[in-house]
Amino acid sequence: MKKLWFGLALSALASPVLAQQTLSTASPIPDGAETRFCYYEGMAYSLDSFILVTGDNTVTSTITTREERLLRCVRGDDGGMHWKPQSTFQVSK
């Protein structure tokens, strides 16, 4: 009888562990998604979408410029989607 209770206790403890391992290895991105979307900061963008990425130029302390880059979601020769630069702007502060 003790073996039965011990076996039930072990199986009850093993079930949540197995479920947690299954969840941690599951991908939130479906298979083949890279052929349908471009990704930026956790968001999926469709073909021909545009995003504007901005950042400060911190190369030198004497020149302060902000760079803005316009990117477009395009389909590559391999069928995958990726961001392609369209134009770059530098704005002096």
6-49 pLDDT, tens per residue?
555 556 555 555 555 555 566 666 777 777 899 998 888 999 99
Range of the domain at 80: 2-92
CB-based contact 82:48 (threshold 8 Å): no
Q: Is the pLDDT of residue 82 over 70?
A: yes
CB-based contact 12:55 (threshold 8 Å): no
CB-based contact 73:85 (threshold 8 Å): no
pTM as predicted: 0.57
How many domains are there within the chain?
1
Three-class SS string for 21-75? HHHHHCCCCCCCHHHCCEEECCEEECCCCEEEEEEECCCCCCCCEEEEEEEEEEE
Please tell me whether residue 26 adopts helix, strand or coil conformation. Answer: coil
